Structure 1
């Protein structure tokens, strides 16, 4: 920060110097210090997916290539509340059929995505969970086992034109203290 102050003072000396001092004071919190420019070491990644977040851009795979050697917990999360609603409205038999379909779809998705991540040099541990999408991800991140979270902006709900990310992702990002890549 001190280097920036010197540059601004030298460059704009006698030219609206007070104005630039005010700008430096106001925007100090937005400027990165040299030690903040260092990328954190990433050894473990939490990568939750669901049926809304399967459109993964190629740029994300390029970014993940930088973390070669890291372990990825690839987790497909199905909402338990949805299954309960189906059971209450259509009965236990229909809920079981839906649950079985969700498990099959989740497994196919994991079986497709895991090899792609492994080709990037990542060690992948796929799993399926039926629970609360936001609470489960927040709980997993709060254990401290993961260095970074990678999550789709559409995780948990269909995309909308009025919101850049789903309420589920918004809640997750607000409640965790680790770095997040939202794609």
Structure 2
């Protein structure tokens, strides 16, 4: 083999390696994005565009005075449940955090529904607009916890911890509004 054909062969091999690496990187990014969508159970555009709707009426009948304290009590129980290391101990850590996040989401929906019924007019419209903004912000802030330095499970747990913390803060804010309404 002459020097010229050897050089051409090496150039061809280098180009094939570069081409293969480029394709590999593109596929990796695509698969990573799809994995994140699958793990967050939805399309990111759909999550950001999600709006809060009042949930259906619940069967629990409460007097006006008991409602604020009832929700405060439920929220306290949920916080205790989150701190209890023995709760759902048989589940993997990720699934446990998913269940806790789901419970906080349910509590948030109940609080939003209850408070939405207590207020009227422009205040109600502003509250639901504020809630929609919160949902988009929560999603965006939680996704900041995702990074390429961690494994998928670690990323999910950090994402869920941030998601839970933001949801708890929003529940606390709404509970304060409910308490202020009941004081008036």
TM range (shorter): under 0.3
Which structure has greater strand proportion?
A: 1
TM-score by length of 1: 0.26
Which structure has greater helix proportion?
A: 2
Larger radius of gyration: 2
Q: 1 or 2 for the larger relative contact order (CA 8 Å, sep ≥6)?
A: 2
